[in-house]
Amino acid sequence: MNPDKQLPLTGLPDRGSKALPLAGLRVVEFTHMVMGPTCGMVLADMGAEVIKVEPIDGDRTRHLLGAGAGFFPMFNRNKKSIAIDLHKPQGAAVARKLAASADVVAENFKPGTMAKYGLDYAALSKVNERLIYVTCKGFLPGPYEHRTALDEVVQMMGGLAYMTGRPGDPLRAGTSVNDIMGGMFGAIGALGALVQRGITGKGQEIQSALFENNVFLVGQHMLQYAITGKAAAPMPDRISAWAVYDVFTVKDGEQIFLAAVSDAQWATFCDALGYADLKSDARYATNNQRVEARPLLLPVLRERLARHSAADLAALFERVGLPFAPIRKPEELFDDEHLNVTGGLADITLPDGKRAGDTARTTLLPFTMNGERLGVRLQPPRQGAHTRELLAQLGFDAAAINDLVAAKAVA
């Protein structure tokens, strides 16, 4: 998109009724790992042209093992890739020219890194006052901003690991919650700035941070203490607000989560399972009484429920409309009936490693627009797959592109 082009009042590009909402918007991202790429992916899925600037040797998440093996294909779909060596003057000049063509620039490097190359908001906004600049950081400006942050770091210092683990055993959540949500909040900020730009004609800088995201997540527990004066106990040791709200080990050692979170649901629970004696017991008449009587009630329920299979309980609870959940592993979700029927998974082609060229299924953003999921338009790119195409768009002729490649300023 031409940065000087005037946009309609909304600040978003003109589009037909079937176009994606951000069609025509150009995003240039200088990002790595999870947080920054998540921000770009959200915008890309909604139709923006997102250009991922990678170092000459590629984004390091392309080759991670173990828990990191899914990072690049998960968070870099619907993007183009250009490989630039920012350490070389020619490369930095190319990056600045590319950034000048953008509506949105996103980055998640250490404070001061982008300024070394003239790619910070202060420098770029002088060229294009309409630019929206999203900075994804570990900490917002303040005493901690110099620290190196990881999802695990902020979970530990921000109370989430304390709440997740058993007492005395802090435990990080089982996914990159702060990285992913921090990137999402960066994208939300960019969307708000786009609307405001349509009114004022000017862009702005958005900052999103891992630590502040984590604190937002535990804010409910902070308020619990502020209101009640009682500190929130770690989730495995918490005093539940509901008596029946737990994982039960049932027949053949299987496990299932079952709940009854109101007096009406308790009555349904007892009727469905034939527990007339519990339903009529005055000690369990109201939810709060049942919560207070959990030490008496739970052992009885565990003994009785152990006679049923998880499948039978699931069928029963679904039939009577009570909350339940099988205990699943992530890999089992590929076969989930609901996800497959509703289009919650999409095929992608893997770009790197031993399985390059193979297909795999990935998860899509968890919302619909006009009744449809936002799918995969572009496969996760090979490193530098769009370098020559993008340089040509910026006005470089074939000879100039070859010179840049020969100088290893781009790849």
* pLDDT for residue 3 is more than 90: no
**Rounded distance, CA 308 to CA 234, Å?**
30
Using CA atoms, how far residue 341 sits from 325, 334, 344, 345, in Å, is 19, 12, 8, 9
* pLDDT for residue 71 is more than 70: yes
Model confidence pLDDT, tens digit, residues 313-361: 999 999 999 999 999 999 999 999 999 999 999 999 999 988 999 999 9
Both structure tokens of 264: 């009406």
* pLDDT for residue 9 is more than 60: no
Q: Domain spans of the chain?
A: 26-217+343-406, 240-330
Both structure tokens of 104: 């949105």
Q: Which residues of 94-111 are buried (b: 16+ CB within 10 A; e: fewer)?
A: bbbebbebbbbbbbbbee
**Rounded distance, CA 321 to CA 88, Å?**
63
Architecture of domain 240-330: 2-Layer Sandwich (3.30)
**Rounded distance, CA 314 to CA 258, Å?**
9
Range 42-58 average pLDDT = 97
pLDDT number for residue 2 = 40
Q: How confident is the model at residue 18 (pLDDT cuts 50, 70, 90)?
A: low
* pLDDT for residue 384 is more than 80: yes
Model confidence pLDDT, tens digit, residues 224-252: 999 999 999 998 887 788 999 999 999 99
Q: How confident is the model at residue 8 (pLDDT cuts 50, 70, 90)?
A: very low
**Rounded distance, CA 73 to CA 390, Å?**
21
Is residue 119 a contact partner of residue 133, using CB atoms and an 8 Å limit?
no
Model confidence pLDDT, tens digit, residues 94-143: 999 999 999 999 999 999 999 999 999 999 999 999 999 999 999 999 99
Topology of domain 26-217+343-406, per CATH?
Rossmann fold (3.40.50)
Domain 240-330 in the same topology as domain 26-217+343-406:
no
**Rounded distance, CA 297 to CA 299, Å?**
6
* pLDDT for residue 41 is more than 50: yes
pLDDT number for residue 4 = 37
Weakest mean pLDDT among 10-24, 70-84, 291-305, 376-390: 10-24
Range 181-191 average pLDDT = 98
